[in-house]
Amino acid sequence: MRYLLALFCCFVLVPHPQARAQGVTRPARPVAVDTAFLLPVNGVKQYLEIKGASRTKPVLLFIHGGPAWPATPMNRKYSQDLANDFIFVSWDQRNCGKSQTDTTVALTPDLYIEDAHQVTRFLQQTFHQRKIFVVGHSWGSFVGAQLVQRYPQDYAAYIGVSQFIDAGQSALLTRTHVQQQAALHHDTATVHALARIPLSEAKGFARGVNDWFAFLTLTGPYRSSPDAPELSNPMQLYGDYPPQQWMAPVMRTLPPLFPYLNGGKTKVLQHSVFKLPVYFFVGKYDHNTEPELARHYFAELKAPKKQWFEFAHSGHAPNWEEPALFHRRLVQIAAENKSK
C-alpha cells in the first residue's frame, strides 16, 4: 500500500510529458526586492532601504520626521510587514542617518521637497510605476503635503501621519494639556517653567529654537499616554545607527529650518487644495502635533477623496504604536487607489 501511495503521488506531482511539450509552464515566482544604497540626490548621496515581496507591488515612500531624525531603525522593527504588500522605501533625508552631510547648502523646506521628488522619480523609473504612494510622518508630513501639492501627477495618494500644521499653535495646546497634568501631580516647577517661555499663536516661540528645545524637555513626561504603547529607543536598536550619531544632525539641521515651522508661517495651512486622494492618520493621544489643528485643517481640505483615521491607542506615531492597524489601512488605501 505504501508503494502504491508513493507511485500515485509521483503521477500527481510530475507534469505529463505531453503537457511540457505543449508549453504548459508554472507561473514565475515573484521577484523580491531587498536592497540598500546611497542615491545621488541634488548633489548629496542619500540612503534608501527598499524591501518588497514582489517588484509588482505598489511603491510606498516613507518621509520621516525630525527634521534629521531617520526612521529606518523604527521601520525595520515595526513596519517590516509592509514589504508583503508594498515596495516599502525607507529614506534617510540629507544630513542625517546614513545619508551624507553637506553643510554648504542652505536648508529650506523647498530643498527637502525637491529631494523627495528626485527620490520619487528614481522609484518611478526603477519599478516602472507612473504613480507611487507617499507617507509623511510629523515633519515628514510638512514636506509630504507640499510635495504632493506641487507634483500631484506623480502620486496615487497621500497619507499624512501626525500631520504637521503649525508648531506654535500646537505648542499652545500642548502647554495647556501639560500644565493641567502637572498641576494634578503637584508639579509646580514645570507649571512655572512653562509659563516663563514666551509663546503665542502669532509668533510661536518668540525667542526661537532654543525655547522649543526647552519646551520639549519640560513637556516630555506629560506628552505620553498610558493607553499608547511604549516604543523602543531608535538610538539603541541597530549597530549601524549608533547613539552618538543622532543628536548632532538635529542640532545642525533644526535651527535653519525652524523659522519656516514657527509662528503660523507654514505653507501647509495656506494651501488646502489637493488634486489626489488624501488620508490623515491621527493618534488620539498625540501631544506633539495636536489633532485639533489637523482636524480643523482637514475640514477645510479639498481633495477628490479624503478620509480621517483615528488610532485609539496611539500618540505621535500610530504607524509604530499600532503597526497592524496601520498596515491594514494602507492596504485598504492601495486597493482604493490602484496605480498603473
DSSP string, 319-333: HHHSHHHHHHHHHHH
- Ordered structural domains, the chain, with CATH: 33-167+225-336 (3.40.50.1820), 169-222 (no CATH)
Asked whether residue 275 carries a pLDDT value surpassing 50, the answer given is yes
Q: Which of 318, 322, 324, 300 is nearest to 159 (CA)?
A: 318
Mean pLDDT is lowest, of 74-88, 149-163, 235-249, for 235-249
Task: Report the percent of the chain where pLDDT is more than 70.
Answer: 89
How far does CA 202 lie from the centroid of its chain? 28
Q: Which of 169, 164, 173 is nearest to 201 (CA)?
A: 169
What pLDDT is stored for residue 169 in this prediction? 87
pLDDT confidence bin for 202, thresholds 50/70/90: confident
Confidence (pTM): 0.89
How do residues 175-191 score in pLDDT, each as one tens digit? 999 999 999 999 999 99
Asked whether residue 283 carries a pLDDT value surpassing 50, the answer given is yes
- In whole angstroms, what is the distance from residue 10 CA to residue 14 CA? 6
- In whole angstroms, what is the distance from residue 318 CA to residue 92 CA? 20
pLDDT confidence bin for 269, thresholds 50/70/90: low
Beta bridge partners of 149: none
Asked whether residue 11 carries a pLDDT value surpassing 90, the answer given is no
Contacts of 183 (CB under 8 A, 6+ apart): 191
Report angle CA 271, 197, 185 to the nearest 5 degrees. 105
Identify the H or E element spanning 87. Answer: strand 87-91
What pLDDT is stored for residue 225 in this prediction? 75
* More confident site: 203 or 305: 305
What pLDDT is stored for residue 264 in this prediction? 62
Asked whether residue 6 carries a pLDDT value surpassing 90, the answer given is no
Sign of the dihedral through C-alpha 127, 129, 133, 136: positive
Query: What is the residue-averaged pLDDT of the chain?
Result: 90
Contacts of 300 (CB under 8 A, 6+ apart): 272
SS3 298: helix
